[in-house]
């Protein structure tokens, strides 16, 4: 079936460096994508989203890039800080005909920021 996946399960970066977290999706009908951050013991926290009619969107220290040709999504975090250490999930939105939106999540990438 369709799936959302991540290239790397873990990522370690030095404090102050930029981080790039990648995500592959397989459903060409997906029209909306979201990145979430999840800290230990908490629920996922919304970071940034992008619609399929865009290829780039920037937030505060974060940028999401969407490449529909190769079905690839990435999250870039600038000047990574210790507080960025968490698990990051990408999610894709599919709205089947006659149904409400369903959000499908990848398995997550653990980002560790090294001092």
Toward another protein, which CB reaches closer, 14 or 55? Answer: 55
Q: Is 99 in the site for another protein (CB under 8 A)?
A: yes
Binders of another protein in range 56-95 (CB under 8 A): 89, 93, 95
Binding mask 3-42 for another protein (x = CB under 8 A): -x--------------------------xx-x-x----xx
CB of 91 to another protein, least distance (A): 8
SS3 of the chain:
CCCEECCCCEEEEECCCCEEEEEEECCCCCCEEEEEEECCCCCCEEEEEEECCCCEEECCCEEEEEECCCCEEEEEECCCCHHHCEEEEEEEEECCCCCCCEEEECCCEEEEEEC
- Report angle CA 21, 25, 30 to the nearest 5 degrees: 120
Considering only 28, 107, 112, 114, the residue that binds another protein (CB under 8 A) is: 107
Residues that bind another protein (CB under 8 A): 4, 31-32, 34, 36, 41-46, 49, 51, 89, 93, 95, 99-108
């Amino acid at each position: 079936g369709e799936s959302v996946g991540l290239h790397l399960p873990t990522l370690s970066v030095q404090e102050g460096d930029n981080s790039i977290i990648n995500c592959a999706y397989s459903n060409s009908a997906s029209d909306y994508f979201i990145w979430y951050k999840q800290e230990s013991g908490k629920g996922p926290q919304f970071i940034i989203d992008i619609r399929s009619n865009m290829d780039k969107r920037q937030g505060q220290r974060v940028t999401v890039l969407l490449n529909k040709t190769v079905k690839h999504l990435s999250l870039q975090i600038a000047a990574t800080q210790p507080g960025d250490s968490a698990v990051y999930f990408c999610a894709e939105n599919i709205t089947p005909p006659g149904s409400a939106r369903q959000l499908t999540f990848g398995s997550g990438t653990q980002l560790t920021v090294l001092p």
